[in-house]
Structures are given as C-alpha cells and as structure tokens.
Structure 1
Amino acid sequence: MALYKTLAQHFIDDIQAQRLPVGSRLPALRAMAKQHQVSMTTATKTYDYLQQTGWIYAQPQSGYFVANQIETTSFPSLDIKSIEQRDPKRFAPLNGYNPASSLFSPLGTSMISPSLQPSVALQRNIKRVTRRAGNHLFQYPETQGDQGLRKALAEHLRHYNLAFSAADFVITNGCIDAVRLAVESVTKEGDTIAISSPCFSGLLDLLSALSRKVIEIPIHDNGLDLDHLETLLQQGLIKASLFSTSNMNPTGMTLPIEQKQALAKLAAQYQTPMIEDDVYFELGHQKQQSLPAKYWDKEGFVIWCGSFSKTLAAGLRLGWCLPGRYLSSYLNQHALTSFGVNGLIQTCLAEFINTGEYRSHVNRIRTVLNQHIHSYQQFLIEHLPSNAKISAPQGGIVLWVQIPSLNALQLEKEANKQGIDIRSGACFSTHDFYHDCFRINCGWPLENTGDKYSTYQQLIRLCELINSSTKP
C-alpha cells in the first residue's frame, strides 16, 4: 500500500474509534508532515485521499475537519405503474420547469462562484489573442466551428482516454443549444423522448418548447431502470432518449460504468439515438474522471453534448457536440438556426486549452468543489430535521434534499420572499412526485462573512424556514 494510504488509514482508524470525533480539527499539513516524518507531498496526498473518500473536509483559511459520514442515501423513485407518455406543456408548474426568478442568489442557479473563475487568466488570454488576430475573426465563422478549437478540444479529451478527431466535433452556443440541435436533428414535433426522473428542469423546458412528449424513466439507487427503457424501445414507443450520465442534475448521481455501456448498446441494438447531456463531465471530484456512454458507442448512435459553462464561465455560451452518425443532419440544422458561434471566443478558448491553463483550472476547482459539497452537507446535517435525506454526490455542484412532510413548492415561494433562490422538486418532473424535495447549488464557498446576503446567512434562513414549516 502506498505510504499516503497507510497514513490515511491511521486517521480513518482514529475517526472510527471516535478518538477523532466529528467536527474535530486535524493538524495543519506542515504539522502533520513533521509529526509523521513524511514529506509535504505525502501529507497533501493523505489529506486529498481522506477528502475524496469523505472522511474529512476542508474549510478555507480554517483547516481540515472530521466529516459526518454521509452514506449513499436511498431516495424514493417514481412508481413504474404511473409512467406514461406525457406532454410536458400540460404538467409544467405555473412559471415553467425552470422559472425565471426576479432575484439571484447563489443557492438557486447551478454554477460556480465568480471567485472560482480564472478571470485574470482569461482576460490575459483574450488580450493576447486579439493582439495577433487577423481579419478572419470578423468574418462569419465555420458552421461546424473553428478548426483550431475542435483540434484543441480533441487533444484535451485525449487526457481522459477519449479518442476523437477534430472532424467529429460541432461547436455550439452552450450545452442546451447542443441538445436542442440534437433533438431537432433526430426527432420531430409530437415524437416521444425518454428522459430520467428526476430530470434537469432546463431540459424539460426545452422539450416543452420543442413540442416533444416525454416518458420518465425512474432513477433507483443503482441507476436508471434500464429494463423499462428496453421495453419502451422494443415496443417502438420512443424515438430517442435524453439522459445525463455523470454528476447528474439534480441528484448528483453518476451512472455505473455497466449502465453507460448498456445505454450505448441499447441505442445501437434498437437503432434509436441517445442524446447524452454531459455538461458536468469534468466536475467529478475524484482524480480519475468517469467516462461517458459515448466512449462505448461504436456505431454512432450516441450524441454526446458538453460545454464550458459549468467548468469555466457560463457567460461564454460555448458548447460542443459529437453527433456521431447524425453529423450531416446536425450540421444542416445548425446552419438553419445559426450563422455559427462567436469566432473570437472560439479562438480564445482554443488558446486557453492549448496553453494548459484550462486543464490546470479544472483540476483545481474539482478539489474546491469537493470541499464545498462536504461543507454544505455538514451544515445541512447540523441544521435540518433529523429525518432529512441529503445526497452524497461524487461530483458536480448540486445537492438533492428530501424532507418528509415538506411542501417544497411553498418553501420555494417563502424563500423567494426573503431573497433566497432555490429549486423545488416540482421543477424536475412532469409527475407530482418530488413535492418534498429541493435542490441547492454548492458552487459558492460557504463562508460566514457577517453579510446578511452571504451564502452562509441565506442557508441559515432557509433552514429556519424548513424547521418552522415541518414542526409537528
């Protein structure tokens, strides 16, 4: 066993024996290295391993602390007996699945804090590109996307053992645009698409706007109900499927490798396209990233969509797609609805990837977001009712919470009155099933700055609302 794992096991033994109780502070890195006579590299690896396996969590400027052990939580799943073809327009909440809020607070929208964005590096990068830019930047961009960016993206993904060529990619205006083009390329109005339950609210709004029907496939503890999906495929009831597979929004779940393989196999077997919304692909908290279903797609039936919005900056509105065998129809649809994607932004992103700055940034924020998730979990465990169920994601930036007897839609309204933006379970399904669930974003640091608008203070007020509304 590696030295850092041996040392980590020493801490785990102390935690399990309660010699290190929950909430207790661990020695600082330098002190720990000196105490155990190891290098700083080994000490850092030890604490990284303990964080990744959920034994400890870090508080910025405060140190490392013993975490409550959050085991994989079993959430209720949609009853298969109630599954039916549905028109999402008919079952949308009053303001849509992803209502436009009149306010903004960090707990609502799934995104990283501006403090985590590499603003200075990006600005430096943009200045460098514009100084040497030729006239081609001011012409209509290629429909498929800047070749330099497609080459940079292909090279970047090779670090994850994903072998694609620049010719496989299409650059889009964000991930939701990539998904829209995929839906329009392989289905028509009135067609039925299989989605997960719960499903990201933005996808439900998109399918509603595109006049597609949906059938929700339940998510259980071990992933999607693939038996039911295959039954629908056998019966020819769906024209396509649309699933997230890694660090899913809102549950944070990542499908097991076996399920991702099975999804690719089912798509090929029944020659039915699967659209893979993988916007959180690079935000796994482990150093070894989970592969997408696209990795096992040998016949091109998986349409893989991604973006820089969640990893870098939402305002860039830059995404990408590997349409597989649907490349021609995808490009035709792209040309009909867009004259391409901003050339300057594409060139700047290619430069940012090629210099290695993007990879360094992603590696850094994965660790930080892991710390955020643990901090939010600890806070919620301490402040919510004892029967609250809190998700334990291995990646992404959101937590899914269920509290029996909670009216989450009413909670959302009351929270909005206090300037707190959250998403109730009603946003994530056409069924009235997740009424006691809500989702919060963990992309902002949980710091008690004393400011009443800080994330910490907003979470305090949210927990007070919940506790008062769920009292017997």
Structure 2
Amino acid sequence: MTLYESLANQFIEDIKAQKLSVGTRLPALRAMAKQHQVSMTTATKTYDYLQQTGWIYAQPQSGYFVANQHFSNQAEGNIFPTINLQNMEQRDPKKFAPSNGYNPTSALFTPLGTSMIAPELQPTNELQRCIKRVTRRAGQQLFEYPEPQGEQNLRGTLANHFQYNHFSFLADELVITHGCIDAIRTAIETTTNEGDTIAIGSPCFSGLLDLLVGLSRNVIEIPVQETGLDLAYFESVLQQGLVTASLFSTSNINPTGLTLPAKQKQALAQLAATYQTPMIEDDIYFELSHQKQNALPAKHWDKEGYVLWCGSVSKTLAAGLRLGWCLPGRYLAHYLKKHIATGFGVNGLMQSSMAEFINTGDYRSHVNKTCLMLSKQVHQYRQFLIEHLPSGAKISQPQGGMVLWIQIPNLNSIELEKAALAKQIDMRSGACFSTHNFYHDCFRINCGWPLNFSSINSASSTSTSPDRNKKAVDKSIIYQQLESLCKLAHDLS
C-alpha cells in the first residue's frame, strides 16, 4: 500500500466511524500535508483518491468536503456504469433507429432532458452590449459576405484564447462554422464517403448518431469505460482496416462526463498518424472542466495533422449563436472547399461580436463562473440521486460538463423514458446512445439548471406553442421531477 493510500484509508475509517460527518470541510491541501507530515504531492494524491472513490468531493474555491454517507457506504464498490465488450461489427445505424430511439421528437421541454445551461445563467447583458458596439462600428461590412474561412479577427482571437489554456495553433489553420455539429458534419464529409465505416465511442452522444444516420455512414463502437477508451480494441479495428475514420469525444464526454487520460489522447493522435486514419475530435465540452485546469485535447499531440478538432460556444455560452470551429490539420484545403460549397460563410456580425466578447474578458469570466456552478450543481444532483434511486444504482462521477449517466440493475430505460414523458418529464434513455442494446438499463439527465433558483424560464425549440416559451421552471418543480423520476425507476427496476 502506498503512503497516499494509507493516508486515504485513515480518512475513510474516520468517515465510517462518523468522526467526520457528511458535509464536514477537510483541511486545505497545504494544511493537511503539514498536519500529516507528507509532501504536497502525497496530499494531492490522497484527496484525488478519496474523490475518485466517492468519499469526498471538491467545491472549487471552497475546499474539500465529506460526501453523502449513503454513497460512502457504496464507495468501495464499482460506482461507474459498465458494459460488456461487443464484437467488432460494422453496423448501419439506420437499421437500428426504430428500436433504439434515435431522432426522438419530444413534445415538451424540461431541464432534465437537454444538455444545456439555464438561460438565466448566461451573460445576456454583457453580450448584448458587445453586439451593439460591434453593430455601431460595422457600417458597410454588415451588408457584405463574410470571409469563407471565418473572420480574421475571430480566428485570431480564438487562437489567443486557447493559447491561454496551453493549446496553441495559428489563426490561418482554423475554420469558423455554424456550431460544432456543422464542424463535425463537414469533417465527416471531408474524410469519408457514403457507406464508409467510422469508429465511435460507446456510449456516444445521440446527436452524433443522428448525424451519421443522415450521412449514411456505418459505425463500429469502441467501449468507453471508467478507465477511458479501449485503445487495444480500437487499434485492432485499425489494423484490420475496418474503418475509414474515427469520431471521438475526449473531454467531459456526453453522456458520461468522463475525460480521457492525457496518455490516451496522445495515443489516439499517434494511432491516427500510424494508420493514416483521420480522427475527428468532438470537443464541445472542452472548457467546462470541474478541475482547475482544462485537459488538453488529442489535437495537442497531433504532429502529422490527422486529427480534425471541432468545438463551439454552444455549451459554454449559447447554442443559438451557431458559432463553432474546426482545426482540420492536413485536410484544411479539402475541408474549406466542402465548407464553402455548403454556404457563404458564417454570420459576420455574430463572429465580430464573439471576438469582442472574448477580448473584453467577459467570456473567460463567464466560463470560469459556469465551471464553478456546474461542479457544485452536478454534485448536488448526484447526491440527490444517490439518496433516492434504488440500491445498486451506479452513477458516473463527471470530471466536467453537465450530465450524469446512471445505470440501475433490471431497469428498462425505454419504459422509464415513456413513463417519464407521460408525467411531462424529459430525459434520455440509454437506447439513444448506441446501436447495440448495451444501455437498456442506463439513462442520462442534465444538471445545467441550478436547484436553488427560484424561477427559471425555459423555451422548447421543438414547440410551436407560445405558452410553452413562457413556462416557468423553479426549484420545486425540478425537485419534484427528480423525485418523480426516482420513483418511476423504483417501480420499473
């Protein structure tokens, strides 16, 4: 047993003996290191171990606290939803759409279903002021077509912005797109043809599966579990030439919230180069880490240009802005040709306004606040579910983002989704995230709405009812919906 494991066990024994009760604030790292006469490295590893095994949780800028006792009793067991490895099989997503719930048409909108932050948490006033300033200065430029590759000022601003996170690239290497999904679509069309097979992570964001259905691409699913992506499995797929490209989320992955270890990201970039097989990196949650420092993308280790890195402000700021980007690497010329062929550039006013918003510092300030909020909020949702779900439930422990992935033994999540919709509760069954039947006992919920808000207005993009745009969602309603969802899970498991 290592020193940090031994020290961690001392804390665990104190928690079990209730010498440290739920919610107790633990000593700061430096104080703990001095108290136990260990190095800061050992102290950090101790708290990291306690977090990973669920005994404590971190509250950014506040410290470390003892987690819910109910969860602590489960902490020594496996807390992350698991799956069995599937056979390497090329599958046409279209053939599995009817039974696996792709393209769901929700007749309602509630905070638990769609992965997004409450609109009231967005810096609306600051953004409006930026747009007004840019509009006053724009003059004749408002009536001109924007640059096909994206406005130089935004590309340069983004290059400077990400350099702050130790991720460097040139403005001329970047292409501005209509959101992340548009960036990914163009990347897929640039690197593959209809009927080709793409390796994807499993579980995979349902929107990506919907996109692949529309583009007539086949898939092979590569399992993503608590330790990350199954790299050996993926390399065997590459060795056999079964795929033309790969499409992976790597940071704060939807629906699990996991972030692939840096060594895995580096390995993915190396595998793409070794087998000369393009990798499309969906990194839309890149900036929403619950840690102090954002993890670097796989693109950071891409020396040969085989990784096409895609991102957006849709999750950090507002999906309605429809602003995203791609670093296509060696595929830049072909990518740009595809991009230009499907449009005449991205809204110039929004591009200039986003550049202004970043340069004022308002964007970084907003993202920092959002990360703090999401870290706290995900923990609160998680603790609620631990207390109210059936025993044996396994809940992911996100490193970032805003979603939770839950697995309950003997649950039929499709039936749960139907029962929830009947009660006007929107959620996502595990069937939406795979072409296989591996997630029949899993579901995903969004944690982007703070539980302590007194009132939140929400609007449904799928609704044509003007009354729905005025629907009020407050703390009591969210609480009731979570409670009702947990009761349904009890009844159906």
Match of 1:73 in 2: 79
How far apart are 1:457 and its partner, in Å?
Answer: 1.5
CA contact 1:96–1:205 (8 Å) conserved in 2: no
Match of 2:181 in 1: 176
Number of the residue aligned with 1:278: 283
Structure-1 residue corresponding to 2:489: 466
Partner in structure 2 of residue 189 of structure 1: 194
Distance 1:438 1:64 in 2: 29
Describe the SS at the equivalent of 1:132.
Answer: helix
Q: CA deviation at 1:66?
A: 3.8
CA distance in 2, matches of 1:12, 1:117: 39
Cα 1:136/1:110, change in 2 over 3 Å? same
Does the CA contact (< 8 Å) of 1:415 and 1:462 recur in 2?
A: yes
The Cα shift of 1:346 comes to 0.4
Distance in 2, Cα, partners of 1:57 & 1:160:
22
1:243 partner SS: strand
- The 3 A distance-change label for structure 1 pair 235 and 26 is closer
Give the Cα separation in 1 of the matches to 2:82 and 2:16. Answer: 29
SS at match of 1:229: helix
Corresponding residue of 1:431:
436
- Judged with a 3 Å threshold, the aligned counterparts in structure 2 of structure 1 residues 363 and 12 are, in CA distance, closer, same or farther, namely farther
Runs (4+) of structure 1 exceeding 4 A deviation are 10-17, 24-27, 49-54, 56-59, 69-72, 448-453
**Per-residue CA distance 1:216-261 (angstroms, 9 max, x = gap):** 1112332111112112212211100000001111111111111101
| Pair 21,452 (structure 1): closer, same or farther in 2 beyond 3 Å | closer
User: Deviation at 1:386?
Assistant: 1.3
TM-score (norm 2): 0.84
Q: Could you say if the C-alpha distance between residues 176 and 146 of structure 1 is closer, same or farther in structure 2, counting changes exceeding 3 Å?
A: same
Q: Counterpart amino acid of 2:438?
A: F
Question: SS of 1:286's equivalent?
Answer: coil
SS at match of 1:80: coil
CA shift at 1:138, angstroms? Answer: 2.2
The equivalent position to 2:129 in structure 1, one of 124, 137, 141, is: 124
Kept after mapping to 1: 8 A contact 2:100/2:435 = no
Count of matched residue pairs: 440
Are 1:346 and 2:369 an aligned pair?
Answer: no
> What is the SS of the residue equivalent to 1:362?
helix
1:314 is matched with: 319
User: Are the counterparts in 2 of residues 78 and 197 from structure 1 also a CA contact under 8 Å?
Assistant: no
AA in 1 matched with 2:127? L
In structure 1, C-alpha distance between the alignment counterparts of 2:51 and 2:147, rounded to whole Å? 42
CA contact (8 A) 1:415 1:465 kept: yes
Which of 89, 92, 97 pairs up with 1:87?
92
Give the secondary structure class of the aligned counterpart of 1:204: helix
Amino acid at match of 2:366: H
Residue 154 of structure 1 is matched in structure 2 by: 159
Instruction: Give the Å deviation of 1:329.
Output: 0.7
CA distance, structure 2, for counterparts of residue 26 and residue 77 of structure 1: 35
- 2:126 is aligned with 1:103: no
**Aligned twin of 1:454:** 477
Rounded to whole Å, the distance in 1 between the matches of 2:369 and 2:159 is: 21
Shift of 1:453: 6.7
Counterpart residue identity of residue 267, structure 1: A
Relative distance call for 1:109 and 1:232 in structure 2 (3 A) is same
Q: Is the 8 A contact 2:190 2:331 kept in 1?
A: yes
- Deviation track 1:276-331 (CA, whole Å, cap 9, x = no partner) reads 00000001111111010000000100000000000011111110100000001111
Tell me which moved more, 69-78 or 98-107: 69-78
C-alpha distance in structure 2 between counterparts of 1:394 and 1:148, whole Å = 32
Counterpart of 2:362? 357
- Residue 15 of structure 1 deviates from its aligned partner by 4.9
Alpha-carbon deviations, 1:7-29, whole Å to 9, x = none? Answer: xxx9999757523312x4669x9
Asked if residue 115 in structure 1 is aligned to residue 138 in structure 2, the reply is no
Residues 33-432 of structure 1 aligned to structure 2 (within 5 Å): 55-56=56-57, 66-68=66-68, 69=72, 73-81=79-87, 83-93=88-98, 96-432=101-437
1:67·1:374 contact (CA, 8 Å) conserved in 2?
no
Shift of 1:434: 0.4
Q: Distance in 2 between matches of 1:353 and 1:222?
A: 35
Deviates more, 1:221-230 or 1:146-155: 221-230
> Which runs of 5 or more residues in structure 2 are unaligned?
1-9, 29-43, 456-473
Distance 1:307 1:345 in 2: 13
In the alignment, the residues of structure 1 paired with residue 299 and residue 84 of structure 2 have an alpha-carbon distance, to the nearest angstrom, of: 27
TM-score (normalizing by structure 1)? 0.87
Give percent identity, aligned residues only: 65
Cα distance in 1 between the residues matched to 2:116 and 2:347: 22
CA distance in 2, matches of 1:340, 1:382: 50
